[in-house]
Chains A and B, each alone.
Chain A
Amino acid sequence: MTDLKIETRDLDLFYGDFQALKKINFLAHENTVTAFIGPSGCGKSTLLRVFNRMNDLIDNVKISGKAYVDGKNIYKKDIDIDELRKKVGMVFQKPNPFPKSIFENVAYGLRVNGISNKTYITDKVEDSIKKAALWDEVKDKLKKSAFELSGGQQQRLCIARTLAIEPSIILMDEPASALDPISTAKVEDLIYELKANYTIVIVTHNMQQAGRVSDHTAFFYLGELVEYDETKRIFTNPKDIRTQNYVTGRFG
């Protein structure tokens, strides 16, 4: 068994009085892809945002229980959130490149983390774009605005941007839901390739996507982690009737 990268123990999360997550016990091992599935509002995105403390940006969020990344409790007082976010990268639902050049988009993460060595930045940018399988499409227009790229290319640029700061965990919040089928397939192939070096957690509404890209799948319902198992188990022989109803499309 590989190393444990992410773990939560009896994690509760409240938005004001509303309990969005109930006693979540979850863990993910190194170099695996875990998919979070479940109906809208089930808490899957909320849990994802626990791991890089993105929930901190929302008012009135209360968390109890424990969450660990690389064995460290990330809700301890002395944790450096910016450092945590360097280690736990995130790709969003809508591609959100900055209104900067393609190059600067990828270099941004390096610059804000205090790196100013030009050759290092140039090499790292190229390397990251290559890893995101985008290099051939953009190598001649690195100075052009990122907004000139197609939606799918923008999303891969956002992945490249994340890779540049060398995270070991990548969180993806419905990374392909705003993309056309071909771009979606490219992003999925990319996830499959990245698995060798990163631990990936992906939230998706698309069951087939969960099937295609993930090793493990967690099904959430009303803030509860209902079932968590190998993806093939969840898809062929789920234990909980709610999971079965969800994966077979007979929900509600």
Chain B
Amino acid sequence: MNHLDAELKNLNKDIVAMWKLVIDQLFKSKQAIENFDKDKVCEVLASEKRVDAFELKINMDCENILALFNPLANDLRFVLAVLKINYNLERIGDYSKGIVKLIKNADEPFEKKSLEEASIYGMFDVCLEMLTDSLDAFEHENNEKVRGIFKKDDKLDVVNKSANKIVASLIKHNPKNVLSYLDILTIVRKLERVGDQTKNISEEIIFYLEAKMVRHMKVKEEKKEKKDK
């Protein structure tokens, strides 16, 4: 095998491993909330270090590949995409960390009912789906699957928009628990950000696969562009 191919394969392996780690983190944060499981909290915090290490390594590898091999065309897009995906994954890792820290500092479990009312579980599931889909799309170079991720992000936005009202009414009904409810609002916000980051990742995948910049372009516009062609 060609030296550059070997390096790219290595890079691919690393970013996929990091991706899985980040998905695992998010999954464990969900479990931590569901069961108020402080062990899981520790696991997430521990793996955060590994995510950071991945980020640094991938960053350096990208730099080296760019400097040493001057990749071109799809190779170049791959490296650039990985560079940005790397950054986005690290951010997602940070959000997981933020979420489990809320649990770590909470004295008692969040009310199951309130969590359901704020659609926390649903949001987690959508985020996990989006992340898994994006990884799948990346690994199998499946551009159709990427398109589906954008639609799922829309769901998150809807939940996010209604979150203020829901939390406000929760506080109204039980002002004693206001801090816990504010935490729930924070979690909603963080999950919404996870969705955004995943969307960014998807955009990078499209850039890599189709050499197209879909960032700042509405899905509808893109569809129209497709039709025009």
Q: A-side interface residues toward B, CB under 8 Å?
A: 185, 188-189, 192, 208, 211-213, 231-232, 235-236
- The total of interchain contacts (Cβ-Cβ below 8 angstroms) comes to 28
Further contacts, 20 of them, CB under 8 A, given A212-B68, A236-B67: A185-B2, A188-B3, A189-B2, A189-B3, A192-B3, A192-B6, A208-B69, A211-B67, A211-B68, A212-B3, A212-B4, A213-B3, A231-B68, A232-B64, A232-B67, A232-B68, A235-B64, A235-B67, A236-B63, A236-B64
Secondary structure at the A interface, as helix, strand, loop or mixed, is helix
B4 cross-chain contacts in A, Cβ below 8 A: 212
A208 cross-chain contacts in B, Cβ below 8 A: 69-70
Q: B116 to nearest A CB, angstroms?
A: 51
A185 cross-chain contacts in B, Cβ below 8 A: 2
Give Cα A249 to B70, complex, Å: 15
The proximity string for B residues 40-70 relative to A, scoring 1 for CB distances below 8 Å and 0 otherwise, is: 0000000000000000000000011001111
Give Cα A235 to B68, complex, Å: 7
Give Cα A212 to B69, complex, Å: 5
Give Cα A212 to B4, complex, Å: 7
A231 cross-chain contacts in B, Cβ below 8 A: 68
The size of the chain B interface, using a CB distance under 8 A, is: 10
Minimum CB distance partner of A195 in chain B: B3
Minimum CB distance partner of A186 in chain B: B2
Q: A91 to nearest B CB, angstroms?
A: 18
Give Cα A211 to B70, complex, Å: 9
The proximity string for B residues 145-176 relative to A, scoring 1 for CB distances below 8 Å and 0 otherwise, is: 00000000000000000000000000000000
The proximity string for B residues 19-41 relative to A, scoring 1 for CB distances below 8 Å and 0 otherwise, is: 00000000000000000000000
Q: B74 to nearest A CB, angstroms?
A: 17
Give Cα A126 to B177, complex, Å: 81
Give Cα A189 to B7, complex, Å: 13
Minimum CB distance partner of A185 in chain B: B2
Q: Which of A185, A188, A213, A236 neighbours the largest number of chain B CB atoms within 10 Å of its CB?
A: A236
Q: Is the CB–CB distance between A211 and B63 below 8 Å?
A: no
Give Cα A78 to B71, complex, Å: 49
Give Cα A236 to B66, complex, Å: 9
B70 cross-chain contacts in A, Cβ below 8 A: 208, 211
A188 cross-chain contacts in B, Cβ below 8 A: 3
A189 cross-chain contacts in B, Cβ below 8 A: 2-3
Give Cα A235 to B63, complex, Å: 10
Give Cα A213 to B70, complex, Å: 12
Minimum CB distance partner of B69 in chain A: A212
Q: Is the CB–CB distance between A192 and B2 below 8 Å?
A: yes
Give me 13 A-to-B residue pairs in the complex whose CB atoms sit less than 8 angstroms apart, sorted by A's number.
A185-B2, A188-B3, A192-B6, A208-B69, A208-B70, A211-B67, A211-B69, A211-B70, A212-B4, A212-B69, A232-B67, A232-B68, A235-B68
Give Cα A213 to B4, complex, Å: 9
Minimum CB distance partner of A235 in chain B: B67
Top 5 A-B pairs, shortest CB-CB distance: A211-B68, A235-B67, A192-B3, A232-B64, A236-B67
A213 cross-chain contacts in B, Cβ below 8 A: 3
Minimum CB distance partner of A189 in chain B: B2
Q: A196 to nearest B CB, angstroms?
A: 12
Give Cα A189 to B64, complex, Å: 18
A236 cross-chain contacts in B, Cβ below 8 A: 63-64, 67
